């Protein structure tokens, strides 16, 4: 994949490495903290079954060999414990829009999910997992055969029932022989403590360009079950977003292909556990006509005022935009521009209803353009109350993720250091001069 060459670095650095960060508010930490001591990329953030922050990332072992690691914070994001290796993830293919993910069920079960490309399978990365220690096998290796298209991908997952000490053998999310391309997934917990996953799939019933959107739900310790299609056709290469609100409604937002050539973001909601979904509705009529893959998906959050969305589009101009809905997706208001050079937005809400949006953007143009992380604070209605840049150009930061703490956000992103690519993180507190 083209993106892979951008990610690969092989230098080492120490755990104590810190890089300076530009501060535009006194409530923001002054440095980027470095979490990994090896070449690392594509961060993820979630919480475990004890509500502790968890930071995950992709570690590079060799030029074309990767695995997933994660670390838990026991002090609300101030520092992280020793990393845990997801041993079966040695089949992983790194892609920032198809980022690996962890979900911690209330029962204590951990599910690790990652993508594998057909190229990785052809290179034989799926060889015996026995070279890694502490793997609990509960059956034969279920690596699928290589799909026909070199651009196709597959989704694999593994479960741990003892806090990451042992993992089940990696198995494919889809076992259907007709299902040879599954990518761009998202996962969340419902109110029953089960994990719901959505993904893009080749199994559509039309000959039109694009993919289908599928969904599955875990059942106790048996993994993902009840796979079914939500809709078609979708853009084949943009991240999906899944959200489950306090009423246990399932919200999905993704880039659809409309009228054969328009690639706009649409929202759907289910009130019956995913059995049926509302008719797809555009969150904004961008009318973006494009035949290529944007590789930048949407984000969504919810608070007492309603649903809030952010996404990239090149229509009416290239920018990352924001909108809200106060009626569960029936209508959308407040269309605004976050940044004209931003992509890959991520968004979350604090307990006090304040919204945080982060993205990567171009900080400096020229022969050697630089990228950084931008952030915008919004009140509960979605009105901007603060905007800042979290990193300096020299860090070449990208692909941020965001997680709510008690009264601040934990942020993580991919950052360039003198020793190569690492995962940086910091804590951002709300602007002191504003109220929700």
CA triplet 319, 359, 4: central angle to 5 degrees?
100
Helices (H), 8-65: none
Contact assessment for residue 185 and residue 197, using Cβ atoms and an 8 Å cutoff: yes
Contact assessment for residue 66 and residue 94, using Cβ atoms and an 8 Å cutoff: yes
H or E, element range at 183: strand 182-189
For the chain, give the number of residues.
Answer: 436
**Which 3 state secondary structure label does DSSP give 395?**
helix
Q: What is the pLDDT of residue 41?
A: 97
Output the six-digit token pair for 71: 């670390």
Strand 40-47: give its sheet, edge to edge: 40-47, 53-62, 65-72, 84-86
* Nearby residues of 336 by Cβ (< 8 Å), 6 or more positions away: 321, 322, 323, 384
How far is 215 from 199, CA to CA, in rounded Å?
Answer: 7
How far is 314 from 296, CA to CA, in rounded Å?
Answer: 11
Q: What is the dihedral of CA 303, 407, 410, 35, to 10 degrees?
A: -160
CA triplet 416, 422, 424: central angle to 5 degrees?
90
Closest residue by Cα to residue 345 from 411, 436, 391: 411
How far is 242 from 41, CA to CA, in rounded Å?
Answer: 23
Closest residue by Cα to residue 110 from 91, 84, 128: 84
Strand 306-313: give its sheet, edge to edge: 299-303, 306-313, 319-325, 333-339
How far is 39 from 242, CA to CA, in rounded Å?
Answer: 29
How far is 272 from 248, CA to CA, in rounded Å?
Answer: 9
H or E, element range at 335: strand 333-339
Q: What is the pLDDT of residue 31?
A: 82
How far is 427 from 434, CA to CA, in rounded Å?
Answer: 18
How far is 13 from 366, CA to CA, in rounded Å?
Answer: 29
How far is 345 from 359, CA to CA, in rounded Å?
Answer: 4
What does the pLDDT profile of the chain (436 residues) look like in tens digits?
Answer: 434 333 333 332 322 333 333 334 434 445 899 999 899 999 999 999 999 999 999 999 999 999 999 999 999 999 999 999 999 999 999 999 999 999 999 999 999 999 998 666 555 444 444 344 333 434 334 444 445 566 789 999 999 999 999 999 999 999 999 999 999 999 999 999 999 999 999 999 999 999 999 999 999 999 999 999 999 999 999 999 999 999 999 999 999 999 989 999 999 999 999 999 999 999 999 999 998 889 999 999 999 999 999 999 999 999 999 999 999 999 999 899 999 999 999 999 999 999 999 999 999 887 788 999 999 999 999 999 999 999 999 999 999 999 999 999 999 999 999 999 999 999 999 997 555 5
């Amino acid at each position: 994949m083209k993106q892979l060459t951008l990610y690969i670095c092989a230098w080492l650095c120490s755990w104590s490495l810190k890089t300076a960060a530009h501060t535009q508010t006194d409530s923001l930490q002054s440095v980027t903290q470095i979490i990994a001591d090896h070449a690392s990329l594509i961060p993820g953030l979630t919480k475990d079954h004890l509500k502790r922050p968890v930071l995950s990332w992709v570690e590079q072992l060799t030029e074309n060999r990767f695995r997933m690691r994660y670390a838990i914070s026991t002090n609300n994001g101030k520092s992280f414990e020793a990393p845990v290796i997801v041993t079966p993830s040695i089949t992983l293919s790194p892609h920032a829009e198809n980022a690996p993910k962890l979900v911690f069920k209330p029962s204590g079960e951990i599910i690790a999910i990652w993508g594998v490309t057909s190229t990785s399978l052809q290179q034989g990365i799926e060889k015996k997992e026995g070279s890694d220690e502490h793997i609990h096998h509960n059956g034969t290796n279920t690596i699928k055969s290589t799909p026909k298209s070199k651009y196709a991908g597959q989704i694999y997952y593994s479960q741990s029932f003892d806090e990451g000490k042992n993992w089940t053998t990696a198995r494919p999310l889809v076992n259907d022989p007709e299902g040879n391309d599954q990518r761009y997934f998202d996962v969340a917990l419902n109110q029953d403590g089960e994990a719901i996953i959505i993904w893009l799939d080749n199994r559509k019933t039309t000959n039109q360009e694009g993919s289908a959107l599928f969904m599955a739900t875990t059942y106790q310790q048996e993994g993902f079950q009840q796979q079914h299609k939500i809709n078609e056709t979708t853009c084949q290469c943009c991240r999906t977003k899944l959200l489950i609100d306090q009423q246990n409604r399932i919200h999905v937002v993704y880039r659809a292909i409309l009228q054969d050539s328009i690639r706009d973001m649409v929202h759907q909601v289910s009130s019956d556990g995913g059995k049926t979904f509302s008719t797809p509705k555009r969150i904004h009529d961008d009318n973006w006509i494009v035949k290529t893959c944007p590789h930048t998906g949407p984000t969504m959050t919810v608070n007492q005022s309603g649903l809030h969305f952010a996404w990239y589009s090149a229509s009416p101009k290239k920018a990352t935009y924001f909108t809200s809905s106060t009626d569960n997706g029936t209508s959308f208001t407040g269309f605004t521009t976050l940044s004209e050079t931003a992509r890959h937005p991520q968004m979350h809400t604090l307990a006090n209803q304040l919204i945080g949006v982060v993205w990567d953007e171009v900080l400096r143009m020229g022969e050697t353009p630089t990228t950084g992380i931008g952030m915008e604070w919004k009140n509960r209605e979605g009105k901007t109350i603060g905007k800042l840049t979290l990193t300096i150009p020299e860090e070449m930061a990208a692909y941020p993720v965001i997680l709510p703490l008690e009264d601040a956000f934990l942020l993580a992103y991919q950052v360039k250091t003198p020793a190569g690519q690492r995962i940086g993180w910091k804590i951002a507190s709300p602007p002191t001069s504003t109220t929700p």
